[in-house]
Homo-oligomer: A and B are copies of this chain.
Amino acid sequence: MRPQERCRRSGASVKEKGFKSLTRVEEAKKKFFSLLEHLGRIETAPLSESDGRIAGEDVYAPRPAPHYRRAAMDGFAVKASDTFGASESSPNRMKVGDAVSPGVAAPVHTGGSVPDEADAVLKIEDTRKTGDDLEVYAPLAPGDNVSPVGEDVNEGDLLIEKGSRIGPSHLGLLRSLGIESLKLSPKPTVAVIPTGEELVSPGEEPGPGEAVQSNGIMIAGCVRRWGGEPEEREVLSDRPEDLRSALNSSLEESDAVVFIGGSSVGRRDRIIEVLEDEGEVLVHGVAVQPGKPAALALIGDTPVLVLPGYPVAALAVAYFFLKSLIQYLIGDEGEDKTATVKLKKKISSKLGSLSLVRVKVEDGEAYPIRVAGSGVLSSVTRSDGFVLVPEDSEGVAAGKSVELHYWR
């Protein structure tokens, strides 16, 4: 007799006692994201406020760079033919003048404009100047040390692809080409709503059975890092009418809504029934470890996530779904940067669940942090990142290489 069967025997309390089935992460994402749309809005920002943002359109070069024939060396602009045959032992002799003509070289500095009459730049190290006389010690081919127009970018070249993230080098390149403002994806606003009767406000002293409401600041921090604009709300009790009114006011103001806590199947977990009343709960119960009680819903066209109340579980579900939700909304096509590391100690994980295992890296090798449950947030703060162990695996043996994901 399995526990579920016992639950069923007790009649009305079936729903309180466990998930009938868990949805795998990939399946849950497919169900959820297939119904979502990117945010349609685009905003315009000055270049100086674009670092780290996501491009909202393809950006093309309005002019070539360089826009003139540029000297790549300090030296002399010349006709290459005047240097033919020159050597260390038998230098060619030229004159130095203001304009280039046959037999006459004109001084030019790195980055300077090469006169039309010249087709090469002679390095200063390959010359010796005495008054107006110039000895040339090396031959040049036409084009030597001259950067042609468009060497860096041609007019019309794609500079930034829609969906890519702007960095400092883009700022430099765009400014050099005269682009001073950019169309960007907006930052989606995300309402972050902690729930739970046992929670006291930040700064208050919790009694036995109470805890400080601390998931809000953590999830808000994640939202900000991932490119959204968090709206931290006051903690709510578990009363359905409070949950419903918070949901409805958030739907009006926010691009996405995140509830934290109340996602399980206990007596005090009421958010799911509220979401079922107001829209569609697409997934409830996910095959992840930690984070099983997560739920994904759509109310009208607003995505709603319910994260478990235990902090590590909340963080894990946020990594699995909230991060990709924000990226989806803003069209961010970036991928997680990971590192390959060797395991020093074996990782054990739960068969059937995608497990997020906190690891510490020492001397280039990773080991799992002793885990005493999803309430132990210090298992995250002491870790360097996490390793994902797939559903069909019970762990990873010591000595194997794994992909390390960073907390960011």
Given contacts A152-B372, A376-B152, contact A202 B217 (CB under 8 A): no
Given contacts A151-B376, A202-B180, A211-B111, contact A125 B171 (CB under 8 A): no
Does A18 count as interface, using CB distance less than 8 angstroms?
A: yes
Query: CB-CB < 8 A to A208: which residues of B?
Result: 67-68, 113
B-facing mask of A145-178, CB < 8 A → 1, else 0?
A: 0010001110001011000000111111101111
Interface size class of A (residues with CB under 8 A): 35 or more
Q: How close is A387's CB to chain B, nearest CB, in angstroms?
A: 14
Query: CB-CB < 8 A to A205: which residues of B?
Result: 178
Residue contact B128 to A9, C-beta cutoff 8 Å: yes
Query: CB-CB < 8 A to A315: which residues of B?
Result: 168-169, 172
Given contacts A151-B372, A167-B408, A381-B169, contact A111 B198 (CB under 8 A): yes
Query: CB-CB < 8 A to A23: which residues of B?
Result: none
Query: CB-CB < 8 A to A268: which residues of B?
Result: 109
Given contacts A209-B68, A376-B152, contact A224 B6 (CB under 8 A): no
A268, B372: Cα distance in complex, Å? 65
Q: List 15 A-B contacts (CB under 8 A).
A: A16-B124, A48-B217, A51-B224, A66-B375, A67-B208, A68-B207, A151-B373, A151-B375, A152-B377, A159-B378, A167-B407, A168-B218, A171-B217, A173-B378, A175-B214
Closest 7 CB pairs of A and B: A168-B221, A172-B218, A113-B209, A175-B214, A68-B208, A3-B125, A176-B214
